[in-house]
Amino acid sequence: MKTTTHAFKEWAIAVEALTKGKTILLLRKGGIKEENNRFEVAHRQILLYPTYEHQKPQLLKPEYRDRVTSVDSGWHPQTVPIQSWADITDILQITEAETLAQLQPYHIWNETFARDRFKWKPKQPLYLLLLRVYRLPETVNLPYREEYGGCRSWIDLEMPLSLEGSIPVMGDRDYQTPVQAIRDLVKTEH
């Protein structure tokens, strides 16, 4: 049986968009508590762990804005629903603002968020993660644990979750088309 404990923390609205096949792209420079003070991909096969605390509706494209409720700092649900997992198929880096602007159709954030994320830690590249997402056969509601909190990208869950019976969110062609388009945009930067 295939299982994992490795989880990747991301805004709940982004996890929802990934799980519904609305996007395959995440932008990352890393959380405040990243090892070596920069983003690194720790695992390629990951559970998608939704977070709520830092979601800001004003940083999302209009079609996602109304689906986010801001919460107080430190708030978390009693249980966290895990609905999906992903294979990180590509880890790309960009250093040019023009490339980031061309990627706007492929993610859920507005231009302000993308630009601010790009400018934060300006000497570090912006990482693009392309994720092939799979829906678990049923949602697993995990009890929240203190060690899952904090501003970091990666956590290891207390118990492994089975990936058996998962179904891809997108078919091969539906996934490969945006992957190739994104790769081509990034390739033109180098």
CATH value at residue 15: 2.30.130.30
Contact 143, 177 (CB under 8 A): no
Which residue shows structure tokens 């490969």?
176
Res. 36 pLDDT band, cuts 50 70 90: low
Q: Average pLDDT in the 66-70 region? A: 87
pLDDT given for residue 157 in this prediction: 96
* Amino acid letter, residue 183: R
Res. 29 pLDDT band, cuts 50 70 90: confident
Predicted confidence (pLDDT) at residue 149 exceeds the cutoff of 60: yes
For the chain, the domain total comes to: 1
* Distances in whole angstroms, Cα of residue 96 to Cα of each of 37, 122, 124, 138, 184: 21, 11, 11, 40, 14
Predicted confidence (pLDDT) at residue 133 exceeds the cutoff of 80: yes
Predicted confidence (pLDDT) at residue 169 exceeds the cutoff of 70: yes
Task: For residue 88, list its beta bridge partners.
Answer: 131
pLDDT given for residue 189 in this prediction: 73
Check: pTM over 0.95? Answer yes or no. Answer: no
Domain encompassing residue 35: 3-189
Q: Which two tokens stand for residue 188?
A: 């033109």
Q: Answer with the residue of higher pLDDT: 82 or 96.
A: 82
pLDDT given for residue 33 in this prediction: 52
